[in-house]
Amino acid sequence: MDEIKFDEQVDITDKVCPMTFVKAKVSIDELEDGEVLAIRMNDGEPVQNVPRSMKEEGHKILKLTDNEDGTYTLYVRKVEE
């Protein structure tokens, strides 16, 4: 599979809900419209909920990849309001 190009990355595996979402949101807020953020997150609750929260914030989800180490990376394109 093609690697997705991204502009910034953030690791939220050190956070628990609701700080997972907060850290991801702060990171994406710093990007320019159209830039892509790679968010590394834990399996379980974060991977079930963070993608949806990003969608609800109005951003564009591109891909979720399994890193096969108990973490996933979500690629999100920033959509400015």
Partner 1 sequence: MAEKKPDYASLKKGGFMRQKQKGYFSLRLQVVGGNLTAENIRTVSEVADQYGKGYVHMTSRQGIEIPFIRFEDIEEVKEKLSEGGVKPGVCGPRVRTVTACQGSAVCPSGCIDTYALAKELDAHYFGRDLPHKFKFGVTGCQNNCLKAEENDLGIKGGMIVDYKEDVCIQCGVCVKACRENALATEDGKIVIDREKCNHCGRCVKSCPTDAWEGESGYIVSFGGLFGNKIYQGETLLPIIKDKETLFRVADAAIGYFEENARPGERFRLMLLRIGEEEFRKVITGAYYGRD
Do 51 and 74 meet the contact criterion of CB atoms below 8 Å apart? yes
Which three-class secondary structure state does DSSP give residue 5?
A: coil
Please tell me whether residue 35 binds partner 1 under the rule CB under 8 A.
Answer: no
> In this chain, which of 60, 67, 68, 80 binds partner 1, going by CB under 8 A?
60
Please tell me whether residue 19 binds partner 1 under the rule CB under 8 A.
Answer: no
Closer CB to partner 1, 27 or 54, in the complex: 54
The Cα–Cα gap between 7 and 14 comes to 21
Please tell me whether residue 25 binds partner 1 under the rule CB under 8 A.
Answer: no
Q: How far is the CB of 44 from partner 1 (least distance, A)?
A: 9
The Cα–Cα gap between 69 and 48 comes to 17
Do 61 and 32 meet the contact criterion of CB atoms below 8 Å apart? no
Residues that bind partner 1 (CB under 8 A): 43, 47-49, 51-52, 55-56, 60-66, 72, 74
